[in-house]
Amino acid sequence: MRILHVSTRLILGGSQENTVLSCEEQARRGHEVHLAFGPIHGPEGSLLTRVQAFNRGVLGTPIRPIGLHEIAGLVREVRPLQDLRTVGALETLIERLTPDVVHTHSSKAGIVGRMAAWNVRRRVKGTLRIVHTIHGPPFMPVEGSPAQRMKIRALNGAYSLLERFAARRCDAIVSVADAMTEQFLARGIGSEHQYTTVRSGMNVGEFLNAAGRRPEVRARLGLTDSEFVVGTVARLAEHKGHDDVLEAFRDDLRERPNWRLLWVGDGWWRQRLLDRATGEFGLGVCELDKGHVPTAATRVILTGLVMPERVPDLMASMDVLVHASLREGLPRTVPQALLAGACPVAYDVDGTREVCVDGETGRLIRPHDVEGLREAVRGLEASETVRAGCVERGRAMVEREFSVKAMCDGLERVYAG
């Protein structure tokens, strides 16, 4: 098949990694794969270099390289005139490539990409199949002041209208979690027969292998066996829950000398969060990407931006992974943590409960329940046996459902109709 994937931004993020892994595996299987994406900028990193390395054969010789197409107007922000021009640019690309499948990802690329593919299909009367993946909800939590709540409700209503419009212009919708299907159908988006759940694939072996390197990884980070490491792997950005993490563990980090908070990632909120950690809570911070070395006073270790291939080792260094994000489809970090040997503690949002089963494969906490977050992690620190049991039970399910092979097998069934 000739497959065109459309993604808004190739930053370092879960949906983008899912898309890139899909492209790589499909190219290895002999499909002709193309990837259209918008401009990449800012502190959140880029996956473009990974795709370029794949095309050079660094990650194993591809049967065919992935075609790369940057679409200048494809940006995250809503800009009506520019968005219409972007639809036109994508139509031109689709007409030139004549793909068998156009597969769009996330909300913005999903709306303009499906519109463009639908317009081309109507004109050429072809057999083009249009598929969209929901990686996470575009709808924001309704919270804040009355004015903020009103604004969020209006935005959510607008997104619902756009998603209903786009759903009528595609053949199939892939959800990374059953919760996404339920939420979208509840808003009248698409028809039940359009939806299929396909778990977000990951390189399972890399995380399993990293678990065996835990002692040497911790040593490189300046961590000893006696230190209890609570980690996060997420962009330092709004809705990712880093403020709740600071609130939950500030006392433990000050009063328990063996506690460490390991933040993996970077983002626009970096300096604001570090200012809270040092100024408001008086915590010693070590920024590894700036050449800092942890000392006895260090309580928060920030890695800065890291490429995906480093994430397995960093997760293996953790005792507990805390995922306090407020918006997720199904967070990839939770199954990845189980593979790497870290017990997850996560907010009960969207599809998180489909992999983090409370008391079985981790701990599930109500959103913004800072006290519950604190008590769950304290309980896990007290019992290495409980942590190990959660990891053991979770791994088997993750190995079965979250491999790249399983994901691409599922996508091929969707493509075939």
Residues 298-324 have pLDDT tens digits of 999 999 999 888 999 999 999 999 999
Query: From CA 349, how far away is CA 183, in angstroms rounded?
Result: 11
For residues 197 and 237, membership in a common domain is answered with: no
For residues 286 and 175, membership in a common domain is answered with: no
Rounded to 5 degrees, φ, ψ at 85 are -65, -35
For residues 241 and 334, membership in a common domain is answered with: yes
Question: What pLDDT was estimated at residue 118?
Answer: 97
Work out whether strand 2-7 and strand 101-105 pair parallel, antiparallel, or are unpaired.
parallel
Query: Looking at residue 220, what DSSP letter applies?
Result: H
Helix or strand holding residue 174 (H, E): strand 172-175
Name the more confident of 127 and 129.
129
CA angle 63, 65, 71 (to 5 degrees): 155
Q: For 239-269, what is each residue's pLDDT tens digit?
A: 899 999 999 999 999 999 999 999 999 999 9
For residues 292 and 393, membership in a common domain is answered with: yes
For residues 116 and 149, membership in a common domain is answered with: yes
For residues 72 and 160, membership in a common domain is answered with: yes
For residues 388 and 270, membership in a common domain is answered with: yes
The enclosing domain of 127 has a CATH number of 3.40.50.2000
Domain coverage including residue 132: 2-201+403-416
Query: From CA 395, how far away is CA 209, in angstroms rounded?
Result: 13
For residues 391 and 410, membership in a common domain is answered with: no
Question: What pLDDT was estimated at residue 42?
Answer: 67
For residues 159 and 212, membership in a common domain is answered with: no
**Closest listed residue to residue 212, CA positions, set 339, 394, 303:** 339
pLDDT band at residue 238 using 50, 70 and 90 as cut-offs: confident
Whether the per-residue pLDDT at 108 is higher than 80: the answer is yes
Helices (H) and strands (E) in the chain, counts: 15, 14
Q: For 338-354, what is each residue's pLDDT tens digit?
A: 999 999 999 999 999 99
Domains in the chain, number: 2
For residues 197 and 208, membership in a common domain is answered with: no
Stretch 100-128: mean pLDDT: 94
Whether the per-residue pLDDT at 34 is higher than 80: the answer is yes
Encoded tokens for 355: 């992999």
For residues 369 and 322, membership in a common domain is answered with: yes
Cα distances (Å, whole numbers) of residue 140 to 57, 108, 176, 189, 307: 40, 15, 18, 16, 28
pLDDT band at residue 377 using 50, 70 and 90 as cut-offs: very high
Percent of the chain at pLDDT exceeding 90: 81
For residues 172 and 49, membership in a common domain is answered with: yes
Question: What pLDDT was estimated at residue 144?
Answer: 80
